[in-house]
Structure 1
Amino acid sequence: MKNTSDQFKVLSIDIGGSHIKATILNKQGKLMMDYDKVTTPHPSTPENLLIAIKELVKGFPAYTNISVGFPGYVKGGVVKTAPNLGTKEWSGFKLQEKLADVLKAPTRVVNDADMQGLGVVDGKGLEMVITLGTGFGTALLQDGMLLPHFELAHLPVTKKDTYDTWVGEAALEDIGEKRWNKRMDKVFKILKTVFNYDTLYIGGGNAKKLTGKLDKNMKLVTNQDGIKGGARLWQEKKHDQNILAVK
């Protein structure tokens, strides 16, 4: 399926706890086709996920490069943690290398919030991206360049909860939107105090459920905006030490 022409096209894949979404982008990040998606397989083993991705992109237009956003800590294309998919099965899995082999194109795999960040930021100052979905994703960028990734979702926010467990999908379903929004208000205050960001971008499927007033430097963004980061991932030779292209 690899494109043999000189035209640069990116297969951009967003792996989530509920769905796997994909599209084709041009060099500027413009969508060349509508999104397509499949349900994330359960159990979400590496083998099952590779099968689902291969089936999802069957029949897609030709592409030259692949970008993947993964819900966990990724370093050098190798998955270190995947709490919303099953860390035990994923720890140490060379997803970047495997996808390059299966889909026959140079591949880059980064944390999903990192890829969304590349798609939505203005490239001015310190910008932070959070994703509210199955878990709590975070990314930091300075003047449009990715900073080393930290899994802030695993930091404790109460004596018994991390950000992931306190405001993730399971918590939202358990306590309801009203209490969840109160928790998110607290989260926003903490982020503002700790990071002193110039702009905070809020994405993920549950961002639309926020009811509180946002500051002027806080912006809601869509998953559609975020997946465009798949093109920007290839516009620089290297965004940070965690990104490695597979030839």
Structure 2
Amino acid sequence: MKILGVDIGATKIQVGIVEDGKLLKETRFPTLSGSSKEDIMRNLIEGIESLGDHEYIGIGIGVPGLIDEENGIVYDLLNIASWKEVHLKKYLEDHFKVPVKITNDANIFALGVKTFGEGKNFRNFVGITMGTGFGTGIIANKKLYSGSLSGAGELGSIPYLDKTIEDYCSGKFFRVEHGLKGSEVFSLAEKGEEKALQILEEYGKHLGEAIKLMLYILSPEAVFLGGSVSNSFKYFEKSLHDSVSEFPFKRILDQLIIKTSDIENIAILGAAALIISEEKNIAEKH
């Protein structure tokens, strides 16, 4: 069965057709984040229709914000000023006549890893996306746990040191603390630049502290890392584990797995997994 996956970001929207865990076709286009909510939705519909395939059974969407998942209402997107209250589910269902499911973009990463990737055999795990920001998706008892208004797992906003976890565990850390882009630090580390290696070692310590917090709250079996910063994992893996090793409950540590997820197009696949998950839930009820 074909499913349409949509990843709505602050600067671009990615849309793709997924079947059997494979991306068949996709398109990307600017978000028009400075435009009215109606113009952005019209642009989204045009992007979907440009794929020229209308055989999908549903549309799954990841959005960086708060979502009333039952009614498909998107609230208060920080980087899209006009999206204060958008009835996106109704708008798209009225147009395309197929079911629409929406959740937070960090949840999409975790659900994609669970459905198509390294998380298939785990009952409880956390998916962390580290890029411009810091996002967390929670899989509990084999299902996505998104909480009220899809807000569960917003650990990046928790105070840490003089700022927040996101300030020290996302791309902000490289830019604000060291005046470099994360990609620049990675490139310098690849060349053996000592300063870059030290920066990534420091980053690993901060991320380890964030993961310890997750262990106290959620006690997951595994933590999967994604987003652009995860490309540098080999350079901060040791310092991360050194930090996590200070967690007092050793039996939990002994079974904990921390690794990167290398699935391509995980945002689109994860969005499609929303529809797959809904189909399974319906089948289980009957």
- Give me the TM-score of the superposition, normalised by structure 1: 0.78
Asked if residue 22 in structure 1 is aligned to residue 24 in structure 2, the reply is no
1:28-63 deviations in whole A, cap 9, x for unaligned? 332222x32123323265334323322322331222
Question: Conserved in 2, the CA contact under 8 Å of 1:116 and 1:223?
Answer: no
Deviates more, 1:126-135 or 1:90-99: 90-99
Of 172, 181, 205 in structure 1, the residue corresponding to residue 174 of structure 2 is 172
Which of these two proteins has the greater Rg computed from alpha carbons? 2
Deviates more, 1:110-119 or 1:220-229: 220-229
Question: Conserved in 2, the CA contact under 8 Å of 1:12 and 1:24?
Answer: yes
Asked if residue 162 in structure 1 is aligned to residue 164 in structure 2, the reply is yes
Question: CA offset at residue 123 of structure 1?
Answer: 4.8
Of 130, 133, 136 in structure 2, the residue corresponding to residue 132 of structure 1 is 130
Question: CA offset at residue 106 of structure 1?
Answer: 1.8
Question: Conserved in 2, the CA contact under 8 Å of 1:74 and 1:81?
Answer: no
Deviates more, 1:15-24 or 1:209-218: 209-218
Q: One-letter code of the match for 2:44?
A: I
Question: CA offset at residue 67 of structure 1?
Answer: 0.5
Give the alignment of 1:1-247 within 5 angstroms. Answer: 8-26=1-19, 28-33=20-25, 35-43=26-34, 45-60=36-51, 61-62=53-54, 63-75=56-68, 76=70, 77-86=72-81, 89-121=82-114, 122-149=120-147, 150=152, 151-159=154-162, 161-175=163-177, 176=180, 177=185, 178=199, 180-210=203-233, 211-213=235-237, 217-221=257-261, 222=263, 224-237=265-278
SS in structure 1 of the partner of residue 4 of structure 2: strand
Question: CA offset at residue 132 of structure 1?
Answer: 1.4
- Give me the TM-score of the superposition, normalised by structure 2: 0.68
Q: Give the paired residue count.
A: 228
Change in Cα spacing, 1:84 to 1:120, as seen in structure 2 (3 Å) is same
Question: CA offset at residue 226 of structure 1?
Answer: 4.1
SS in structure 2 of the partner of residue 192 of structure 1: helix
Change in Cα spacing, 1:16 to 1:110, as seen in structure 2 (3 Å) is same
Question: CA offset at residue 129 of structure 1?
Answer: 0.9
Question: CA offset at residue 181 of structure 1?
Answer: 4.6
Change in Cα spacing, 1:141 to 1:152, as seen in structure 2 (3 Å) is same
Deviates more, 1:73-82 or 1:231-240: 231-240
Q: One-letter code of the match for 1:217?
A: I
Question: Conserved in 1, the CA contact under 8 Å of 2:60 and 2:273?
Answer: no
Question: Conserved in 2, the CA contact under 8 Å of 1:14 and 1:20?
Answer: yes
Identical pairs, percent: 25
- Looking at secondary structure, tell me which structure has more helix per residue: 2
Q: One-letter code of the match for 1:139?
A: G
Question: Conserved in 2, the CA contact under 8 Å of 1:123 and 1:145?
Answer: no
Question: Conserved in 1, the CA contact under 8 Å of 2:113 and 2:270?
Answer: yes
Q: One-letter code of the match for 1:154?
A: S
SS in structure 1 of the partner of residue 14 of structure 2: strand
Following the alignment from structure 1 to structure 2, what is the Cα–Cα distance between the partners of residues 44 and 152?
30
Following the alignment from structure 1 to structure 2, what is the Cα–Cα distance between the partners of residues 225 and 219?
15
Segments of 5+ residues of structure 1 without an aligned counterpart are 1-7, 241-247
Following the alignment from structure 1 to structure 2, what is the Cα–Cα distance between the partners of residues 163 and 235?
32
Question: Conserved in 2, the CA contact under 8 Å of 1:18 and 1:134?
Answer: no
